[in-house]
């Protein structure tokens, strides 16, 4: 399991444009930076909390949480896999859903992985396919759609 200090050092080394904006304690951190996979700049926030060894939680509960702060993601219920494909609902701010970047069931990410090696790249890839979705109305990024609610947004508790 990577410590929050290891995660912070890895982010500083690999993504110097992502600034550490919050470190509430020795187990959690929040970064903010810009990703522009297809020229359009997106301000992205990544939150992560290292779980305690004895916590009874799932991988879905400990995954890094990624949100696009600006520009706000566009909702299009009439587009393929709309209103926004591959996101989880944020109960704290419904206008800022969390990006679904991997399948927790597929064990594609774990607490031994660096956010800088996985999550940031996956967020850029997600944004690339999102921009294509806005133009073509079709999601070309693959993935599974599980746990959708009536409004089309997957549920995930906020951190």
Evaluated on CA atoms 25, 55, 126, 131, the torsion sign reads negative
Query: Under a CB-based contact definition with an 8 Å cutoff, are residues 77 and 83 in contact?
Result: yes
Question: Which domain covers residue 20, as residue numbers?
Answer: 4-155
Cα distance between residue 102 and residue 87, in whole Å: 11
pTM for the whole structure? 0.87
The string of pLDDT tens digits covering residues 100-116 is 998 877 778 888 999 99
**Ranges in the chain, pLDDT < 50:** 150, 154-159
Q: For the chain, how many structural domains are there in total? A: 1
- Residue 43's pLDDT is what? 98
What's the full length of the chain, in residues? 159
- Residue 156's pLDDT is what? 41
Cα distance between residue 97 and residue 50, in whole Å: 21
Residue 121: CB partners within 8 Å, gap ≥ 6?
A: none
- Residue 34's pLDDT is what? 98
- Residue 54's pLDDT is what? 63
Cα distance between residue 38 and residue 19, in whole Å: 21
Query: Under a CB-based contact definition with an 8 Å cutoff, are residues 125 and 141 in contact?
Result: yes
């Amino acid at each position: 399991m990577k410590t929050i200090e290891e995660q912070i050092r890895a982010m500083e080394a690999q993504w110097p444009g992502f600034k550490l904006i919050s470190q509430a304690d020795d187990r959690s951190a929040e970064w903010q930076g810009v990703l522009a996979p297809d020229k359009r700049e997106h301000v992205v926030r990544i939150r992560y909390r290292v779980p305690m060894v004895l916590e009874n939680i799932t991988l879905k509960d400990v995954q890094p949480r990624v949100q696009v702060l600006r520009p706000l993601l566009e909702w299009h219920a009439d587009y393929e896999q709309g209103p926004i494909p591959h996101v989880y609902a944020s109960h704290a701010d419904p206008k800022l859903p969390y990006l679904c970047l991997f399948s927790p069931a597929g064990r594609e990410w774990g607490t031994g992985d660096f956010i800088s090696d996985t999550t940031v790249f996956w967020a850029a890839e997600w944004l690339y396919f999102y921009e294509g979705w806005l133009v073509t109305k079709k999601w070309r990024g693959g993935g599974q759609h599980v746990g959708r609610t009536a409004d089309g947004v997957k549920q995930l508790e906020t951190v």
